[in-house]
């Protein structure tokens, strides 16, 4: 796989050594057991896969290339390049301005742009209407387009489904940048609709199997379907694609559910004419990170810390998985850890910031799971571990720990 020129300050001596160790020890990526970093009073269980993915490293390389190649020019990002506050803060510090927020609300008017300006397309891609607006203003976006190739693969899949007149069901968060970009393309090939979860999917299926009205559909899925979608004619053939960072098991569940709905309505012998079997369109990194998190669930850890941007979809799903078994703290950086007794973190289910006292159990050794989202720099994960180590005495040196890396047998 290609190696990207990512700024050195995103790299880390600890995590880089861990990843290199696992690369040698498990070159085929078959072992999802975590790596143990035994610092004595604290043992960190490190996920087999986490951190920067191909698409993120590609985006960061292109963004910093744009900065280096265009001194004196105004440089804009359409929106956040990736969902990580540290990376976006760094880009701001290098003079990059954001045209929109993550919900598509305008921060800087497109009317202020000139043909001399540089506009970087984020890793999530961009809706077609926005690309057309930039084209009409004489701004060429091809050179600094950081759209993830795995997102583009989803777009190609939507085109294939559309050519066979299937309505495209997108499993995603309808206001997420990637889903908006995917929806804009899907809607050019066929009718399209966004479902967030299995509950949404079951509701949509009721318009296929029951005698429900178009008015009910338009009210319940307002803002989530393409213009002119008719429930009587456009839900006879469907196919499922997804936002690449969604939970893999849920995408599979939704696809299998719609297949069963079509089998019930049209018969098993006819299902291939009514359901496009696309498998899932998740990216490799999302799959690997989620599989590695299942490996963490098989340990005897005391708690889990997940590091990443609070608006990062792929990171939020790692949090959801860890919460199935462990007290889990979702933080953006080591700055959220105030002391040995207090941590500030994001309560993802309730979408709010909270503080927890006495989050570290009084035991030795303390066993802590650590993983991070695909847009989180390894250097931030390093900083989290070092911050926690600072609260203890008798901590082994990093050099000693890295000489004694091992995987931990799962229970």
State how far the Cα of 81 lies from the Cα of 52, in Å rounded to an integer.
13
State how far the Cα of 127 lies from the Cα of 198, in Å rounded to an integer.
25
Q: Which of 224, 255, 241 is nearest to 154 (CA)?
A: 241
CB atoms within 10 A of CB 349: 10
Work out the angle between the directed axes of helices 128-136 and 177-189 (0-180°, nearest 10).
90
The end-to-end CA distance of the chain, in Å, is 33
Q: Phi, psi (5° rounding) for residue 284?
A: -60, -40
Q: Which of 206, 178, 183 is nearest to 194 (CA)?
A: 183
Tell me: cis bond preceding 365? Omega within 30 of 0 counts.
Answer: yes
178 is catalytic: yes
Asked whether the CA dihedral 69, 72, 74, 79 is positive or negative, the reply is positive
**Which is the catalytic residue, given 178, 250, 288, 336?**
178
CB atoms within 10 A of CB 121: 23
Long-range contacts of 171-175 (CB under 8 A, 24+ apart): 171/195, 171/196, 171/201, 171/240, 171/241, 171/242, 171/243, 171/246, 171/250, 171/251, 171/254, 172/196, 172/242, 172/243, 172/246, 173/243, 173/313, 174/223, 174/224, 175/103, 175/104
Work out the angle between the directed axes of helices 54-69 and 85-93 (0-180°, nearest 10).
10
State how far the Cα of 394 lies from the Cα of 29, in Å rounded to an integer.
34
What amino acid positions are annotated as catalytic residues?
178
């Amino acid at each position: 796989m290609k190696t990207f020129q990512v700024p050195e300050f995103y790299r880390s001596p600890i995590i880089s050594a861990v990843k290199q160790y696992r690369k040698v020890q498990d070159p085929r990526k078959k072992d999802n057991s975590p790596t143990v970093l035994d610092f004595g009073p604290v043992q960190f269980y490190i996920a087999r896969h986490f951190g920067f993915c191909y698409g993120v490293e590609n985006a960061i390389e292109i963004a910093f290339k744009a900065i280096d190649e265009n001194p004196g020019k105004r440089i804009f990002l359409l929106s956040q390049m990736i969902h990580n506050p540290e990376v976006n803060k760094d880009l701001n510090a290098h003079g990059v301005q954001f045209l929109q927020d993550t919900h598509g609300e305008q921060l800087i008017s497109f009317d202020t742009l000139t043909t001399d300006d540089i506009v970087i397309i984020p890793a999530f891609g961009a809706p077609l209407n926005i690309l057309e607006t930039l084209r009409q203003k004489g701004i060429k976006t091809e050179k600094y387009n950081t759209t993830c190739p795995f997102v583009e693969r989803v777009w190609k899949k939507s085109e294939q489904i559309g050519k066979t007149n299937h309505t495209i069901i997108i499993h995603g968060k309808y206001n997420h940048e990637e889903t908006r970009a995917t929806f804009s393309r899907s809607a050019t090939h066929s009718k399209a609709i966004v479902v967030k979860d299995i509950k949404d999917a079951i509701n949509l299926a009721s318009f296929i199997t029951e005698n429900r009205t178009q008015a009910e559909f338009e009210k319940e899925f307002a803002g989530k379907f393409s213009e002119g979608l008719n429930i009587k004619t456009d839900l006879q053939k469907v196919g499922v694609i997804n936002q690449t960072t969604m939970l893999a098991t849920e995408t599979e569940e939704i696809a299998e559910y719609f297949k069963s709905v079509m089998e019930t309505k049209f018969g098993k012998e006819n299902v291939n004419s009514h359901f496009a079997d696309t498998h899932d369109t998740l990216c490799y990194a999302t799959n690997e990170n989620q599989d590695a998190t299942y490996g963490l669930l098989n340990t005897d850890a005391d708690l889990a810390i997940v590091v990443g941007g609070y608006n990062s979809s792929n990171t939020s799903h790692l949090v959801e998985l860890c919460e199935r078994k462990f007290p889990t703290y979702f933080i953006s950086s080591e700055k959220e850890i105030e002391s040995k007794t207090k941590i500030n973190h994001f309560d993802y289910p309730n979408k709010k910031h909270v503080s927890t006292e006495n989050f570290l159990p009084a035991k030795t050794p303390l066993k802590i799971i650590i993983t991070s989202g695909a847009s989180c720099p390894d250097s931030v994960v390093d900083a989290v571990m070092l911050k926690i180590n600072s609260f203890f005495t008798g901590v082994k040196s990093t050099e000693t720990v890295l000489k004694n890396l091992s995987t931990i047998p799962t229970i």
